[in-house]
Structure 1
Amino acid sequence: MKPPVSPMPAGKPKLTTSAMIASIASEGQRTKPAPFGHALVALAEQDPRVLGMTADLGKYTDLHIFAKAFPERHYQMGMAEQLLFGAASGLAAEGFTPFATTYAVFASRRAYDVIHQTIAEEDRNVKIVCALPGLTSGYGPSHQAAEDLALMRAMPGMVVVDPCDAHEIEQAVPAIASHQGPVYMRLLRGQVPLVLDEYGYRFELGKAKLLRDGREVLFVSSGLMTMRALEAAKALEKDRVDAAVLHVPTIKPLDTAAILEACAKPGRLVVVAENHTVIGGLGEAVAGLLMREGVHCAFRMIGLPDEFLAAGALPTLHDRYGISTEALCGRVKTWLG
């Protein structure tokens, strides 16, 4: 039996219904619909080699937009993820650039060996784009890809990308298409928040970007946790805590130079925040880098626990597992004393 979800503090009502596909946008936050689907259509208009493929999840990976625009370049493989990636490998061998979409759990767990043997080992130019990364589904462990980054970054030759918002997804699609070789990219779908455009941000594959500077705390983050880190940094200003945010969208290869430079700045607490288990993701990658290079700093990790997560409403689960904005602020203030 799953443990009961912890009750929320008074004055902060949370949704209590579960949703398989739920928005991560806060109330009133700017969003953009289906950025991946529209970006892939724009790319395909310029490049006839681009294909869209899915395993019965076109509507839930925003690939239905591509299918409408380019029905002759859309492949619906049915509920057969191994077949999806095997076929994508074959099409890549013939000179095409397939974008294969499914849920992150199905790519990273169900079809891992096929991806390993037919795509990564063969260095095939397949772009694996996967929805429901980390804790972005309320349906429990069967749909929560809490360990996908650890699995994919362990695969030789695989580039791993964890974009923050709609603005970054739009820019990442042509960037990963330009990279020759396999790429695994996490996908936020549906009504996706817009955040990074306010910071004049431009995505570059393999590059981390300092979005804001600060004297006391440095958040090193990826994916939706960069959005949370930016929100936390603004909230911490009320308590006179000055926080910086280094966004690391490419988990592999890491931008080691940018991370070392930011973490070596003296007197700051370094907090790695990720929507992923604390085992094998960005936090341990950064910790290993700092240890190898002899950079010694106060270091903490915020991520999902090493356990099977509960089902429930996302706002409640994000609070429970410590990846909401409020939870980030509380942890940082505790660590700063």
Structure 2
Amino acid sequence: MSRQSDTSMQIRVTSIAILGLLIALAAAAYFSGLRVQRDGDLIAKDAVPGTIHAHHMRMAISRSIGWALVAGSAQTTQFRDTCLKVVYEADEAFANELKQYEATIKINPVADRALIRQARETYAEFHKQRTAYEALILAGDRDGAAAFLERDLLPAFNQTIKAAEDVIQYNHGNSLAFSDSIQRSVHQLYWAVAVVVVLALACAVVLVLNLTVRRRELQELQEKEEKFSKAFQANPSGIAITEAATGRYLEVNDSFCRILGYSHAEVPASPPRTRGSGPARHSASASFSPCWRAVPCAIRRSRCARATASARPCH
């Protein structure tokens, strides 16, 4: 019985441990899901839109200098003005994309705004040099415009393009980083689900074992109770089970009732201090000690009755 009790305790401890692991894995899966949701939102609302707007800024810069060069080589005034109009539209497009990009900043505002500030400053310098180049074109100074292009405009353009490409690379790197994070979180979710399934099966096995052990323990306990009840009732000696605090009878056997002269219904009905050895044999007493002094007397009387043909009172 002790070994089975130890086994039952071990099964319960194992069940508690498995339940704790299930709770921990469920919490890990929950937080992994939150991380996937957060990274997905950052990719969808910051990294990808930022990359798109940065590409549009770069395209606006390229379109601006490209049409400025076309305007410098225009053969007619009308075509030149048309080209410069496209250049001005490119300026507006750059400003609009820059504003939209700033509205998407969520991941790292400090680094993002530093890159945007650099792009804005380099574009301002590029715009300044390009305006000077346009003035030379409008003045009809093609040689001066060509020299200015090599000396001032192209370096400013290269700095502006580099600043725009830095913004693109920054957002592209964020997209890759968050994509990797999502992939790791999804793998963790897969493993968590797999382990949860295994632990659930283990819980089912432990539950079946626990029920089996408990059923065996209850069966053995019932058998022992039946053996005790048979031994208690069949014992020729008078046996009584009393309550420690009050002395009230909890259970008595047939021999005890026969010795005292009470029935089973009468014995538990009155406390020991008001019970004698039986109305047929002794008078009731208010004292507890005379009652128990009467019990061995009744036993001796029973023995005398079996030994002789007539009963003699014993003192």
TM-score for both structures, normalised by structure 2: 0.19
| Structure with greater strand percent | 1
TM-score for both structures, normalised by structure 1: 0.18
| Structure with greater helix percent | 2
